[in-house]
Every structure is written in C-alpha cells, then in structure tokens.
Amino acid sequence: MSSYRAALCDDEAADRVQIAELCRDIFTAWGMDAEVIPFSTADELRRAPDAALFDLYLLDIRMEGTSGLELARQFYSQGIRDRIIFITGDPEFALEGYDVEPLHYLLKPVGRDRLEAALRRAVERWEQQTALFRWGGKTAALPLREIRCLESRDHGVVVCLGESERTFPLSLAEAERLVPARMFRRCHKSYLVNMDWVDHLTRSGVFLRDGRCLPVSRSCYAGFQTALVRYLNHPGI
C-alpha cells in the first residue's frame, strides 16, 4: 500500500490528466511513495469506499453536478480538515471555500512550481500528523488520529487502529520514539496511550472512547493523570 494517497477530482479530462501527471512527477522527484487517484466527478469520489481515507484532496471548485466546494463542505462536516487544495479556472472563485480551511488555491492552468509548493505544504502537514514506523528498510505511515494505543506483545509492538491492528518488529521503547511525546503516554509498562482517545481515568484502568479499557500500573498512575490533565487543557500535537 502506498504511504501517501491523493484524490484528484476534476471534470475536465485534459486538466485532470495534466495535473495528475504533474503530481506523480513531483512525488517521484521527491523519492516519495505516493499514489494519485483521478476522479471525473465529485459524486464518483464521494461514492468511493475509501472516500474519507485519502491524505489529500485536490478539488475543482466548480464542476457539473456536485461541486468540489460542496464535497469539501461535506468532508469538513465529517472532520476531514487540512487536506484540501482547491483548483479553479476562474479567479472569481479563488476565495470561495474559506470556511473549510483549505490548504491552498491553485488557478488553472496549473503550473509545476505552484503545484509543487502546494504539495510540499500538504505533505509537511501530513508528516506532522503521521507516525512513520521504520524497520528493516521498510516504512509504514499511520495517521496519528487513528492510533488508539500501542501494546508490547509477542516480542513486537501492536498498534491498535480502531477495528484493525498493525504489528511491527519493534520494542515499545523504539515505537515510543516515533510518536509525539506529549500526545502519547505510558499507562503501563506494556501500553502507550493516545491522549486524544482517553475518555476517563480511574485507579483500575484507562477507559478509551471506543469502549476499550487498558490497565494502569501504580507506578504510572500519577504521571499519567498529570499528563492527561495537561493535554486536555492544551489539546493537539
């Protein structure tokens, strides 16, 4: 699976092909493992089973049927933010969509320099929100917002991602160095918790918003409680 995935939605075939090729060329020049998936309409993208899972959306603001702006607002309501670049052929529409906090606006015809600058900004933001797990020359990128906890298990570390898990041949101490220190905290010698997912803490365990309960050790309790209060008062990465 590619480490970075971008969706490009434009109802003009020539523009769609040209921008997709430029994106792929830029990612290749950066030596980046990336995939660019083109869509001809906003409805086609919206119906895709993984529509909400792309790392970046390049959306033509004005399209026949559902517009890129309408799709961006729908994504925004679902919590998809900091992942949208608007494209438009008319400067009149260049400032539309400010309410969905887009990363950038690009005017057609899209030039390589401006596209490269926009993509660099998007990738830098993505890297800040992504944990890169490296082992044996391999790399897996996991979105920080999806990681519930990390568990030391069977001589490796298991990363819990909602209904799925990823296992890496790393120690918990090694994995701990790959995630933001203020966002992840140990509650037990075998568990590292994402503070964003903590619902509440008791002496008997750390209860996550997905219903999971993790053990908390006596040696970790006070430090974890202090870190949790500090994080709740100043959330974010």
Domain harbouring 220, CATH code = 2.40.50.1020
Between β-strands 191-194 and 184-188, what pairing exists: parallel, antiparallel or unpaired? antiparallel
pLDDT at 237: 45
Same domain, 160 and 177: yes
Q: Which residues contact 177 (CB under 8 A, 6 or more apart)?
A: none
Q: Are 177 and 205 in contact (CB under 8 A)?
A: no
Same domain, 151 and 98: no
Same domain, 11 and 124: yes
Same domain, 45 and 115: yes
Same domain, 49 and 156: no
Same domain, 18 and 112: yes
CATH code of residue 35:
3.40.50.2300
Distance, CA of 134 to CA of 132 (rounded, Å): 6
Same domain, 26 and 115: yes
DSSP string computed for 29-69: HTT--EEEEEESSHHHHHHSTTGGG-SEEEEESS-SSS-HH
Same domain, 24 and 90: yes
pLDDT at 95: 65
| Structural domain for 138, as ranges | 132-233
Same domain, 107 and 166: no
pLDDT at 235: 53
Of 86, 103, 128, the last residue of a domain is 128
Per-residue pLDDT band at 97 (split at 50, 70, 90):
low
Extended beta strands in 56-176, E state: 56-60, 84-88, 104-107, 130-135, 138-143, 149-153, 156-161, 164-168
- DSSP reduced 3-state for 206: strand
Same domain, 122 and 140: no
Q: How many separate domains does the chain show?
A: 2
Of 102, 128, 154, the last residue of a domain is 128
What is the model's pTM?
0.62
Instruction: Retrieve residue 45's tokens.
Output: 């993208």
CB atoms within 10 A of CB 28: 11
Same domain, 156 and 223: yes
Q: Are 117 and 81 in contact (CB under 8 A)?
A: no
**What pLDDT, in 10s, does the model give residues 61-92?**
988 889 889 999 998 887 777 899 999 887 77
Per-residue pLDDT band at 93 (split at 50, 70, 90):
low
HSE-up of residue 95 (Cα within 13 Å, Cβ side): 1
Same domain, 171 and 77: no
Q: Report helix angle 112-128 to 13-29, nearest 10.
A: 60
Of 128, 160, 185, the last residue of a domain is 128
* More confidently predicted of 236 and 150: 150
